[in-house]
Structure 1
Amino acid sequence: MTKQINVDVNAMICPHFDSVLYDHSLNKVLKGGRGSTKSSVISLQLVMDFLKDSNANVLVLRKVANTIELSVYEQIKWAIYMLHVDSFFEFKKSPYRIVDKRNGTAFYFSGVDDPQKLKSMIIAKGYVRYLWFEELAEFDSWQEVDTVRASFTRKNLPPGAHVVTYYSYNPPKNPYDWINEWVASRQTMPGWFVDHSTYKDVTLPNILSQDYLDEINTVKSNDFDYYRWMYLGDVVGLGTNIYNAELFHPLKAIPEDDDLVELYTGQDSGQQVSATTELNIGLTRKGKVILLNTYYYDPVGKAVKKAPSDIAKDLHDTEQRWRDQWGRGFYKQSADSATSDFALDHEMYKQFNQRYHHVAKTEKTKMIDNVQNLLATGRVYYLDIPENQIFIEQHRDYRWDEKTVHSDNPKVVKENDHTCDAFQYFVLDNLRDLGLKY
């Protein structure tokens, strides 16, 4: 007996997306701001379409394989549970697959770290009928995406069946990024449908929480351009200055109605021709992120420069002074991944048996986005004391290189930016603690 399942899909998919889902184009691009539910819509539609064809398989792709579990894999699982068809599936993680127990077809998940490997992918039962490239802006170029896409779209399917490909992403700020120029060419291309959505298109109740809408309004009031980019999906451009200096709020002391719950450090260490800095940052019970102290040593212009052993002792003594001052130890100490090869790192271990947590850096634009995201929440403060002025000065002056800003690979001006780097490492290494990752 065929099991009948009654689900009101109209209560899950906002009317905005009707034009996308009922269109017969074989390539559907869903772009826009955060919170528009575009990824949820795609996952629901993929599960419904998968269930209509007992030979259909779905291939879901991210640029990097280690992002799969907590993004697209969980997103498809969510859609399966929302549609109450979880009894049909077996969920596997090595490798990531969600298999239809009735006939062996599946949702396959893959990173595109090496596009050539996917060209030889073998599907045991049926054929790949649906592709989904999630976070398309993370890919390096359209050629990288098309290499994978073409491997599956060129294969013959049964009469009446076609490969349908979904693409979803939030537009980068930079108008010269490859994807912003690429999508413009797809707007009028036959066989393509391009949709732009924002949280304002979420017109159904009980989808976006009031807390989330309040968060959006906080960002809107703090940094309107960041709000336009993050939540409206506007291509706002990079400008020249990277940070809005007014979002670093000065404090004379820790507020009496708040208290520190954890201490963190962020470090950027140089060699004998470059500065070394370490930031002592406190996270409070109310979620404030406060720069408490700054260590900064710049060898430029000094006839006698400190050796790595001297800087190691400086840092050790400074960190002990900070622990004494604030009455607690450090929850996490973050440093550039490159410093693991530096003499300073070896000296810290040799003299004091101390290791820092070395951050796996991402693209500079993404690390900057993390900091801008934090700033837009209005929670970044600094103690207005002499040692912290170098931090504020460098963040106020931090800017894009004008020679690169009109390109798809913008660069920052690499001068007097050491505290900026150290703060980026701290934020990147603690996204979940800072409420920027869930």
Structure 2
Amino acid sequence: MSKIVSIASIVGKGYRDIWNFKGRYKVIKGSRGSKKSKTTALWIIYNMMKYKDSNTLIVRKVFRTLKDSCFAELKWACVQLGVANKWKFNTSPLEATYIPTGQKILFRGLDDPLKITSIAIDKGFLCWVWFEEAYEIMSEDSFKTVVESIRGKLPEQLFYQFIVTLNPWSDKHWIKKRFFDTTDSDVMAVTTTYKCNEFLDQGNIDELEKLKETNPRRYKVAALGEWGITDGLVFENWEERYFDFREIIRVYPDIKAVFGLDFGYTNDPTAFFCGLLDLNNKNLYVFNEFYEKGLQNNQIYQKIENMGFNKEKIVADSAEQKSIDYLRMLGLNRIISAKKGPDSVNAGIAFLQEFKIIVHPNCVNFLNEISTYCWDKDKFDKQINKPIDDNNHLMDAMRYAVEEYMKKKSYRFKL
């Protein structure tokens, strides 16, 4: 016996036009808790069951991030729609199959471009693509490569659609210029906020609304979904580039491996920075990271051990001496406290501004932070020589990591 469900009651309010739009590009930027990702997951499951020849590709910049994000959201959507028994989710390979027809949801990362451009579908047509956390995609060319690979004539009932969801951290991002600063009938570009999510619990609402008083600038981005204004970037001396860190070590045997750790838990992530410091050529290669909320100390240790860096010297935030002592007891024998000091933030920034910072594309959280890390402003909207203390956890970890290599001199930083 078929079960009848109300789509309106499951999706909730605020998304009617977005749900019904059939144009080529559907771009949804929004605040935390605006249900943009959950609504997209529901749309994909519902419409794949509605259109029997449709197939979907899910894309994030880094493949390993898909399992705990889009893959999990789509499984949740199946449960919400009461159709979990009609779908099979596999982790190897990562894919979902609609059992009655064999239609597929495929998952790919932009870190493996060959797999992106060589997708074969056994049944039907690949017609929908969801780019999740699209702010991570720094290059418009990477986006175009995927779009241009999805082509061919579709049956009358099907339509191509590229769904882009993101948190709008930087107003310099190419997505703003391409989709939000132009008018095109084939593009729906919208902003959603937590206020259209009637399923959000009061604790989350209170946390977001508290930002009105404590951090109005962050409130506009994190709660209202407005573009982050990135005038006055602290670091402009960086680029995103693929490299093999083992090859860098082979070519530059005198290069220094540097590791930094910034602690977080409930509201802020724990951030682990991995870099290679080339003092001779003034290059800093950022090659690995982790960035996660809610980690206990034993979980931090396990992550560092799994990455293979538990024997390395790690410089950690001295405000968490108890955590440092515990991590040392667990096996991080070379972890030490950052020295800090009254002017350590600006001194560290000035030192790092002397280097070309080369960031591996897989370090998506580092890229997000460095591209939005700005000098603060006073009440007259004038820049001051102090960076904004927000979204800077890997920036702090990077400073800790290079601390011992800073010469004992005064640094002049660039505003």
If the TM-score is normalised by the length of the shorter chain, which range does it land in? 0.5 to 0.7
How far has the Cα of 1:151 moved from its partner?
1.6
SS in 2 for 1:168: strand
Q: Deviations over 1:33-84 (max 9, x none)?
A: 1111011111111111100122221111111110010000001111111000
2:193 corresponds in structure 1 to 198
For residues 186 and 269 of structure 2, what CA distance do their matches in structure 1 show?
48
Find the counterpart in structure 2 of residue 229 from structure 1. 221
Distance 2:64 2:131 in 1: 15
Pick from 165, 180, 187 the counterpart of residue 176 of structure 2.
180
Deviation at 1:107, TM superposition (A): 1.3
Task: Note closer, same or farther for the CA distance 1:242–1:61 as it changes in structure 2 (3 Å cut).
Answer: same
Report the residue type matching 1:192 in the other structure.
Answer: V
CA shift, 1:129, in A, is 2.4
RMSD of equivalent CA atoms = 4.6
Structure 1 or 2, whichever has the larger Rg, is 1
Report the residue type matching 2:152 in the other structure.
K
Counterparts of 1:32 and 1:67 in 2: how far apart (Å)?
Answer: 20
Structure 1, residues 78-117: CA drift from partner, whole Å, max 9, x if none? 1111000011111111111111121211211111223343
SS in 1 for 2:21: coil
TM-superposed CA distance for 1:141, in Å, is 2.1
Partner SS state of residue 14, structure 2: helix
> Would the aligned equivalents of 2:258 and 2:314 in 1 still touch at CA under 8 Å?
no
**Of the candidates 185, 209, 223, which is equivalent to residue 217 of structure 1?**
209
How far 1:19 moved relative to its partner?
A: 1.5
- Provide the C-alpha distance between the structure 1 equivalents of 2:64 and 2:178, rounded to a whole number of angstroms: 26
Question: Cα deviation per residue 1:329-368 (whole Å; 9 max; x = unaligned)?
Answer: 9974999x9997xxxxxxxxxxxxx714879xxxxxxxxx
Aligned AA for 1:79?
A
8 Å contact from structure 1 (residues 334, 425) kept in 2: no
SS of 2:191's equivalent in the other structure is strand
Q: Which letter maps to 2:165? A: S
Deviations 1:289-328 (A, max 9, x none): 99xxxxxxxxx9xxxxxxxxxxxxxxxxxxxxxxxxxxx9
Instruction: Tell me the distance in 2 between the aligned counterparts of 1:289 and 1:55.
Output: 42
Distance 2:78 2:95 in 1: 13
Distance (whole Å) between structure 2 residues aligned to residue 220 and residue 103 of structure 1? 49
Q: Which of the numbers 115, 122, 125 marks the counterpart of 2:113?
A: 115
Counterpart CA distance in 2 for 1:157 and 1:20 is: 22
The one-letter amino acid paired with 1:208 is L
- Equivalent residue pairs, number: 310
Q: CA 1:389–1:71 in structure 2 vs 1: closer, same or farther (change >3 Å)?
A: same
What is the rounded CA distance, in whole Å, between the counterparts of 2:400 and 2:201 in structure 1?
Answer: 26
Structure 2 distance, partners of 1:62, 1:288, is: 23
**Which of 351, 355, 363 is 2:311 aligned to?**
355
In the TM superposition, residue 159 of structure 1 has moved relative to its aligned partner by 2.2
1:164-199 per-residue CA deviation (whole Å, 9 max, x = no partner) reads 2211111122x22222222234x4113111111111
**Residue of structure 2 aligned with 1:394, choices 344, 347, 352:** 344
Question: For 1:208, what is the secondary structure of its paired residue?
Answer: coil
Give the counterpart letter for 1:78 in structure 2.
Answer: W
Cα gap change, 1:133 to 1:283, in 2 (>3 Å) = closer
Of 159, 162, 185, which residue of structure 2 is paired with 1:165?
A: 162
Structure 1 residue identity aligned to 2:173: D
1:9 match: 7
SS in 1 for 2:27: strand
- Partner SS state of residue 22, structure 2: coil
Q: Which residue of structure 1 aligns with residue 200 of structure 2?
A: 208
State the TM-score, normalizing by the size of structure 2. 0.62
The residue type equivalent to 2:178 in the other structure is W
Q: What do the CA deviations read for 1:134-153 (whole angstroms, capped 9, x no partner)? A: 1111113222112112222x
* 2:286 equivalent in structure 1: none
Is the 1:332–1:357 Cα contact (8 Å) retained in structure 2? no
Contact 1:172 1:180 (8 Å CA) reproduced: no
Aligned match of 1:100 = 98
Pairs within 5 Å for 1:147-158: 147-152=145-150, 154-158=151-155
What letter matches 2:30 in structure 1? G
Cα distance in 1 for partners of 2:134, 2:218 equals: 20
1:29 deviates by 0.7
Q: Using a 3 Å threshold, how does the CA distance of structure 1 residues 216 and 55 change in structure 2: closer, same or farther? A: same
Aligned 8 A contact 2:259 2:398 in 1: no
Change (3 A) 1:128 1:391: farther
Partner residue in 2 for 1:189: 184
Distance 1:422 1:334 in 2: 20
Q: Does 1:44 align with 2:42?
A: yes
CA-to-partner distance for each residue in 1:389-432, whole Å, 9 max, x for gaps? 8345223664897xx9xxx985989xxx9x9868426999xxxx
Contact 2:117 2:146 in 1 (8 A): yes
Higher deviation after alignment, 392-401 or 42-51: 392-401
Q: How far apart, CA to CA, are the structure 1 residues paired with 2:62 and 2:257?
A: 33
What residue identity is the alignment partner of 2:311? R
- Whether the 8 Å CA contact 1:99–1:107 is kept in 2: the answer is yes
Moved more, 21-30 or 83-92: 21-30
**Unpaired segments ≥5 residues, structure 1:** 244-270, 291-299, 301-327, 341-353, 360-370, 372-379, 429-438
Q: 1:273 to 1:390 in 2, by over 3 A?
A: farther
CA distance in 1, matches of 2:371, 2:13: 38
* CA separation of 1:190 and 1:358: change in aligned 2, threshold 3 A: farther
Give me the whole-angstrom Cα distance separating, in 2, the residues matched to 1:82 and 1:129. Answer: 24
* Paired residues of 1:116 and 1:147 also in contact (CA < 8 A): no
Q: Partner letter of residue 68 of structure 1?
A: L
Q: Percent identity?
A: 23
Task: Give the conservation status (yes or no) of the 8 Å contact 1:64–1:112.
Answer: yes
Match 1:19 to one of 17, 22, 26: 17
Q: Quote the residue 1:374 is aligned against.
A: none
